[in-house]
Amino acid sequence: MPERLFVCTPSKLGSYTDCPRRYRYTYVDRPTPVKGPPWAHNSLGASVHTALRNWYALPEAKRRPEALPGLLKGTWVGEGYRDGDQERTAYRRALQWLESYVETLEPGVDPLGVERVVAVKTAVLAFNGRADRIDARTGPNGPELAIVDYKTGRTGLDVDDARGSQALALYAYAAERVFRRPCHRVELHHLPTGTVAAFDHTPESIARQVNRAEATARDIMAAERAVTDGADPDEAFPVAPGPGCAWCDFRRTCPGGVGAPVKDPWAAVERTLLPVTPTTPPVTPAAE
């Protein structure tokens, strides 16, 4: 019997890479173990992402900065904030980010895809994922695609983040096959600082990321098979305690998260709302 393909998204693969136990709690155990309360930084990120998606749904003539308050209010997620004051501050900051960001967009240019699902199969994976944006551009060799991912965390991102992102590489791999156009450019657009961290993949660097994703998928399938065959689920999906435990939804129920510092749901947003010092945009290096 041929081995079944592993159906996955970037977050499913990333979850296992970060912590096999978190993967099990999220994707295997049913009912899902009790999660902690919603995080305000997730609410802020979701609000900004949806506002940008809806920006592109407007007719070109209505894509004006005046439309942004309505878009942001319409998509605002208010969960996890400390209080109304903090939430209002976050809303104002998010609006500033959006106002600055849309200034940088080329008028009259529509992306090829906005929150577009791309799917592809390999020998091991049945991959699908939703890219924030897929741009159609003209490169030195003709038409090509670029994958754009919006970021709203406080820390500025650099070229290594763009280069190392398995999710972006898999989106590029899938988009190239779905649209039959070269796609090697991946970009992280950090709205709080207005910077772009970009990387131009080579076929080899994309292949390395696909190989890594396939290796992760094989590990996951082996762990799931072991449990089916009677292995202890706690051993098949071990805990991986680390700094991520403090931000893990399952910290309260997981033995690996016992010693992790307790973070308020608004802790990350509190840092994000501190004044930001603009940074110099990272330089794009030659292809890997």
**Where does this chain bind ligand SF4 (CB under 6 A)?**
19, 21-22, 25, 239-241, 244-245, 248, 250-251, 254, 256-257
In the bound state with ligand SF4, the residue whose beta carbon lies nearer, of 29 and 115, is 29
Q: How far is the CB of 36 from ligand SF4 (least distance, A)?
A: 10
Q: How far is the CB of 35 from ligand SF4 (least distance, A)?
A: 11
Q: How far is the CB of 18 from ligand SF4 (least distance, A)?
A: 7
In the bound state with ligand SF4, the residue whose beta carbon lies nearer, of 69 and 153, is 153
- Distance, in Å, from the CA atom of 52 to the CA atom of 160, rounded to the nearest integer, reads 25
Q: How far is the CB of 244 from ligand SF4 (least distance, A)?
A: 5
Residue 127 bridge partners (DSSP): 8, 120
Q: How far is the CB of 30 from ligand SF4 (least distance, A)?
A: 16
Amino acid at 225: R
H/E stretch holding 188: strand 183-190
- Distance, in Å, from the CA atom of 174 to the CA atom of 128, rounded to the nearest integer, reads 8
Alpha carbon distance, N-terminus to C-terminus of the chain: 38
In the bound state with ligand SF4, the residue whose beta carbon lies nearer, of 262 and 287, is 262
Q: How far is the CB of 105 from ligand SF4 (least distance, A)?
A: 37
In the bound state with ligand SF4, the residue whose beta carbon lies nearer, of 40 and 239, is 239
H/E stretch holding 273: none
Residue 68: other Cβ atoms inside 10 A = 22
In the bound state with ligand SF4, the residue whose beta carbon lies nearer, of 116 and 251, is 251
Asked whether the beta carbons of 239 and 254 are under 8 A apart, the reply is yes
Q: How far is the CB of 256 from ligand SF4 (least distance, A)?
A: 3
- Distance, in Å, from the CA atom of 261 to the CA atom of 24, rounded to the nearest integer, reads 22
251-to-31, 35, 43, 114, 263 alpha-carbon distances in Å: 17, 8, 19, 34, 10
Q: How far is the CB of 255 from ligand SF4 (least distance, A)?
A: 7
- Distance, in Å, from the CA atom of 251 to the CA atom of 215, rounded to the nearest integer, reads 27
Asked whether the beta carbons of 236 and 227 are under 8 A apart, the reply is yes
In the bound state with ligand SF4, the residue whose beta carbon lies nearer, of 29 and 99, is 29
Q: How many helices (H) and strands (E) does the chain have?
A: 10, 6
In the bound state with ligand SF4, the residue whose beta carbon lies nearer, of 136 and 240, is 240
In the bound state with ligand SF4, the residue whose beta carbon lies nearer, of 22 and 201, is 22
- Distance, in Å, from the CA atom of 192 to the CA atom of 186, rounded to the nearest integer, reads 19
